[in-house]
């Protein structure tokens, strides 16, 4: 909920439909029995705050088709890449059902009525197109679509939405590592894009960021330096040649070499600045490290045997450069899986689903951290509270902010909707209108939710009272 002195997320990415396994040191931690977490009680009050506006709008499925809530997902169903909002309504990037479905940009009014398809792009002749994600701000809307040619190349195609047409701004080549994760922020005349890849040696993951300008094409990272040949040397010199120096990281890499970083998230802030979050990780043990080096792909330790935490850096979107060192916001002994964030007048707030056993579906915990940011954009000591100690469904929480505090919407282990408040005076409530649905964008008191419906998608707007 937009309020005074609040800057909200400009683009939501990687919206989960089944499960999402995205992957601080220091900082004060308050007990789950403290006053902050008392207001975030998972039990919630009997009163509700969210009501549906109209009937669900459908994409990729006939309006008359009846889909049971517990129906199992079907292969090659429709997908959402990301959504964004302005005062008039919601922009949604999606891909139609099918192995190589068309990509579309949808618009749904803030009233929940009149779902329109603004742009339809046929599948590429070679490879596939992932579901696009969208960022809108200041009257401009940008759309980014990942184009994948199997085993050959991956390219992020960034375009501006002009009415019913997309005008390409630039192409951002992606590495061929395991992750395809990207995020985008609409900022003035050009968007800012961040993505993750592996370093040239294939040893750690890293997060990169560029401001996309007209006609640009970011060069790919050079291939790793090959190992020296085992053939005997013909040199008469008795001294061994020194090893080649390690390759310097490209200037657009913003995560430090000490962080195995992935899954970036961009959040708009005050005075034309932004925050870039990512998940950092390290193996839990020597055995896990050995398994990583011997079996896992570059930059991707085992999901179960790695500690994961959130790091953040303040950036200037005009230059694409960091304004200071990164800061860890959650425990380095945690197991962060997904996150959502907002920059408020009181500082940065990140909400993390933490689960030590993400593949077993036990239901994780939900924690929130807040760190102040001073006038020089220095990030202060974070404070952490527990929202729910257990029984949190896989997927991403959604974070919004108002004058009353920070609002978190999520699903419990039974897919029941929950609304809780942290770092403010917002009461916790059980929200049946949110059951089995994920919040993907918000404007003022309107929240856009999605859920799978057979091979298609249902979009429903909720109004949630302050």
Residue 308 has pLDDT above 70, yes or no: yes
Residue-level pLDDT at 262 = 93
pLDDT digits (tens, 9 = 90+) for 383-397: 999 999 999 999 899
- Section 163-170 average pLDDT: 93
Q: How far apart are CA 211 and CA 256, in angstroms?
A: 19
Query: What is the pLDDT of the chain when averaged over all its residues?
Result: 80
Residue burial 200-223, b: 16+ Cβ < 10 Å; e: rest: beeebbbbbbbbbeeeeebeebee
Please tell me the least confidently modeled range out of 59-68, 266-275, 316-325.
59-68
Q: Sorting pLDDT into bands at 50, 70 and 90, what band is 278? A: very high
Residue 3 has pLDDT above 70, yes or no: no
Q: Sorting pLDDT into bands at 50, 70 and 90, what band is 7? A: very low
Q: How far apart are CA 5 and CA 406, in angstroms?
A: 13
Neighbours of 80 (CB within 10 A): 27
Residue-level pLDDT at 327 = 97
Q: Sorting pLDDT into bands at 50, 70 and 90, what band is 209? A: very high
Which residues, including other chains, have CB under 8 Å from residue 461's CB and lie 6 or more apart? 52, 53, 54, 90, 108, 110, 111, 112, 446, 447, 448, 449
Residue 301 has pLDDT above 50, yes or no: no
Residue-level pLDDT at 403 = 77
Residue-level pLDDT at 360 = 54
Return the CATH superfamily for domain 6-66+77-219+250-285+301-464: YVTN repeat-like/Quinoprotein amine dehydrogenase (2.130.10.10)
Residue 33 has pLDDT above 50, yes or no: no
- Per domain, the residue ranges of the chain are 6-66+77-219+250-285+301-464
Residue 227 has pLDDT above 70, yes or no: no
Residue-level pLDDT at 242 = 54
* Residue 243 in tokens: 């090893």
pLDDT digits (tens, 9 = 90+) for 40-53: 444 556 689 999 99
Residue 407 has pLDDT above 80, yes or no: yes
Residue 32 has pLDDT above 90, yes or no: no
Percent with pLDDT over 70 in the chain: 74
Residue-level pLDDT at 376 = 93
pLDDT digits (tens, 9 = 90+) for 425-439: 888 999 999 999 999
First to last CA, the chain: 8
Residue 69 has pLDDT above 80, yes or no: no
Residue-level pLDDT at 70 = 56
Residue-level pLDDT at 103 = 96
- Section 178-202 average pLDDT: 86
Residue 31 has pLDDT above 50, yes or no: no
Residue-level pLDDT at 180 = 83
Residue 86 has pLDDT above 70, yes or no: yes
Residue 106 has pLDDT above 70, yes or no: yes
């Amino acid at each position: 909920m937009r309020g005074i002195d609040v800057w909200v997320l400009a683009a939501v990415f990687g919206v989960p439909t089944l499960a999402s396994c995205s992957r601080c040191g220091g900082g004060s931690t308050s007990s789950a029995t403290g006053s902050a977490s008392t207001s975030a009680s998972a039990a919630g009050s009997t009163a509700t705050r969210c009501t549906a506006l109209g009937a669900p709008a459908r994409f990729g499925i006939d309006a008359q088709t009846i889909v049971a809530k517990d129906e199992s997902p079907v292969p090659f169903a429709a997908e959402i890449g990301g959504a964004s909002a302005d005062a008039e309504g919601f922009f949604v990037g999606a891909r139609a059902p099918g192995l190589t479905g068309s990509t579309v940009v949808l618009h749904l009014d803030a009233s929940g009525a009149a779902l329109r398809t603004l742009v339809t792009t046929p599948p590429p002749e070679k490879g596939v197109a992932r579901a696009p994600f969208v960022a809108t701000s200041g009257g401009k809307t940008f759309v980014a679509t990942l184009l994948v040619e199997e085993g050959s190349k991956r390219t992020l195609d960034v375009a501006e939405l002009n009415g019913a047409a997309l005008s390409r701004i630039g192409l951002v080549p992606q590495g061929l590592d395991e992750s395809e994760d990207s995020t985008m922020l609409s900022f003035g005349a050009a968007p800012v894009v961040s993505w993750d890849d592996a370093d040239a040696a294939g040893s750690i993951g890293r997060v990169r960021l560029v401001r996309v300008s007209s006609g640009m094409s970011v060069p790919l990272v050079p291939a790793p330096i090959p190992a020296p040949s085992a053939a005997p040397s013909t040199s008469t010199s008795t001294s061994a040649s020194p090893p080649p120096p390690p390759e310097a990281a490209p200037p657009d890499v913003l995560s430090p070499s000490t962080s195995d970083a992935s899954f970036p998230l961009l959040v708009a802030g005050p005075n034309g600045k932004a925050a870039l979050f990512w998940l950092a990780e390290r193996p839990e043990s020597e055995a896990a490290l050995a398994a990583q080096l011997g079996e896992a792909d570059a930059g991707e330790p085992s999901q179960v045997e790695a500690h994961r935490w959130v790091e953040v850096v303040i950036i200037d979107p005009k230059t694409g450069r960091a304004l200071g060192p990164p800061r860890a916001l959650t425990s380095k002994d945690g197991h962060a899986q997904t996150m959502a964030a907002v920059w408020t007048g009181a500082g940065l707030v990140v909400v993390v689903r933490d689960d030590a056993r993400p593949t077993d579906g036990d239901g994780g915990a939900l924690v929130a951290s807040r760190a102040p940011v001073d006038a020089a954009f220095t990030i202060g000591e974070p404070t952490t509270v527990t929202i729910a100690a257990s029984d949190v469904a896989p997927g991403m929480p959604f974070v919004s902010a108002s004058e009353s505090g920070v609002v978190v919407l999520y699903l419990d282990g039974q897919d029941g909707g929950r609304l809780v408040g942290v770092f403010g005076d917002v009461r916790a409530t059980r929200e049946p209108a949110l059951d089995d649905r994920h919040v993907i964008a918000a404007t003022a008191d309107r929240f856009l939710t999605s859920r799978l419906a057979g091979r298609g998608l249902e979009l429903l707007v909720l109004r949630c009272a302050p």
